[in-house]
Chain A
């Protein structure tokens, strides 16, 4: 079972991803929700590390880039693959090193494509 953490401030986004995964792929994936960057760090510190993090960019307080930078700067977390979730394609062009993450997926997300990407990243990681 793959543990996938999703960091997104919108609960509906987390809900549909989590529900879709549970319905479509059953126990192959476990979705761990985190409503903010802070919550993400807290979970990372407290629990077993996830196999992959889905990271939304546009979030209040701490945005996706900052979360990404902190994860990459923390030795014990830096190996976790990250897939960005973005609604704005211009965000990557504006952010230097935008493609340093393992992958990205544009919103609106299609669960099947997301799963394919997650599988690709995890396959490469091995």
Chain B
């Protein structure tokens, strides 16, 4: 409530001030005007009085002077009583000599004989006494009105003037009374209007606001739907109506919200339950999955174990196979030695042509069997993943020279002229035994398909990290079709001519050897009858 009081103070104190200023100002204006008007009326009254009473005064005075005794003083007294404001009546002649002064009567001093001659106070007054026109002089200081009224007798002679001095003291009294009255009225008016405004303010604004405040407080404490009782149809009324509407709307909203909230809680509870259910199911699934994964892992381990076991078995079998082939190789190769060496001896010594012919057939077939056995086993060895190579740097020109030397018999018997143009600075990385085998196979082919004049030329060239070696012969050459099939196993250049010298495995062995060293091998030929060149590459070894 203090706030509203302060609101009231804020409104009513300035209002009161304004009212006071307005009313005081207007009062002062009114007072000023009124006092002027009163003053004027007083002066008018005094003027008319003086003009009316002059004859009576002078005639009585003259009569008194001529007849001796007459109650002139009583006349003056009566005249004085006629006007409360009249202070003094003086009778003066045209020379300014005071013939009579009412004050002297009042003080008991009037006696012409004893009092002697007297004149007016100053020359201005004396002049005025002699002036045949009426004159009025207002002295605001002494609050007096000095009127000098000339008297003309029946014949128009001007001997006397009467001087009236009126007091304006009554004017002040009247003014004061007026001020008091006006202020009183104003005060009452202000208080009444103030109270009226206060009441109206209180009734129409303050208390509705208080009511509204109460409503707002209640609302803020949660009592929604509270309605304020303001019946007026002004703006406050509208505000109250709006407030009530808002309050009701809020109540409805809150009720709806509560309803919604309750529903939501139910919903959330339901959802939570659902979620818990799902989570539980998920956990169950998870557990199942974990178990399944465990089982799977177990199975996997089992499987891996079995795979490893099988791999080991296979490896073991492969090893056994290799071992078997090697053993077989040994066991097959050993008996061939005596056959291929002793049969030619007998053949040479035999004089009987029939027997010699038999030994020649034996010799040829023993050689063919030797070739077949050796090359088949070699190819099997090269095809086995377990075959290991012993790679070492080889001095290419020296190595080739050595191989040519070892095969000297082969070349000599077949009248083959062999030339090696290898740069002595070249070294390759190779397995020595396999390299020799490779070259031997190529040489044997060259010798086999030799024409009348047989030459073999060996060249080598370094390209990047590889040495390309070429072996060119002057043999029967090859067609493109033959070149395409030269590395096929059991392929023979001339299958029509059943050549028992040829197993058809030599070039396959060559390709396996070169590829096992990371190189490539290919064959070129200008055409049938124009010789053949076999190219192959080996990784270079930098001489240290």
Q: Which residues of A contact B (CB under 8 A)?
A: 10, 12-13, 15-17, 19-20, 23-24, 58, 87-90, 92-94, 98-99, 104, 106-113, 115-117, 120
Minimum CB distance partner of B402 in chain A: A120
> Which among A99, A108, A112, A116 has the greatest number of chain B C-beta atoms within 10 A?
A108
* B-chain residues with CB within 8 Å of residue A88 when the two chains form the complex: 326, 329-330
- A109 and B337 contacting across the interface, CB-CB below 8 Å: yes
CA distance A17 to B341 in the complex (A): 8
CA distance A98 to B392 in the complex (A): 12
* B-chain residues with CB within 8 Å of residue A109 when the two chains form the complex: 337, 341
* A-chain residues with CB within 8 Å of residue B378 when the two chains form the complex: 89
Additional 18 contacts, C-beta under 8 A, given A89-B433, A108-B336, A116-B405: A12-B335, A12-B337, A13-B334, A16-B337, A20-B342, A90-B388, A93-B387, A93-B388, A93-B390, A99-B433, A104-B433, A107-B333, A107-B334, A107-B337, A109-B337, A109-B341, A116-B407, A120-B402
The verdict on B370 contacting chain A, using a C-beta distance below 8 Å, is yes
Minimum CB distance partner of B338 in chain A: A16
The verdict on B340 contacting chain A, using a C-beta distance below 8 Å, is yes
The verdict on B345 contacting chain A, using a C-beta distance below 8 Å, is yes
For the residues of A in contact with B, the DSSP-based class is helix
CA distance A94 to B333 in the complex (A): 20
- Interface size on B (CB < 8 Å)? 34
* B-chain residues with CB within 8 Å of residue A90 when the two chains form the complex: 322, 326, 381, 387-388
The verdict on B374 contacting chain A, using a C-beta distance below 8 Å, is yes
**Shortest Cβ gap from B331 to chain A (Å):** 8
- B334 and A116 contacting across the interface, CB-CB below 8 Å: no
* B-chain residues with CB within 8 Å of residue A117 when the two chains form the complex: 406
* B-chain residues with CB within 8 Å of residue A12 when the two chains form the complex: 334-335, 337-338
* A-chain residues with CB within 8 Å of residue B408 when the two chains form the complex: 116
The verdict on B431 contacting chain A, using a C-beta distance below 8 Å, is yes
Can you give 7 contacting A-B residue pairs, CB < 8 Å?
A: A16-B342, A19-B342, A19-B345, A87-B333, A90-B326, A107-B333, A108-B370
Query: Contacts A90-B326, A92-B433 hold; do A116 and B341 have CB atoms under 8 A apart?
Result: no
- A113 and B334 contacting across the interface, CB-CB below 8 Å: no
The verdict on B70 contacting chain A, using a C-beta distance below 8 Å, is no
- B345 and A89 contacting across the interface, CB-CB below 8 Å: no
Task: Give B7-53 interface residues, CB cut-off 8 Å to A.
Answer: none
**Shortest Cβ gap from B510 to chain A (Å):** 15
Point out the residue from A13, A108, A116 that lies within 8 Å of B406, measured CB to CB: A116
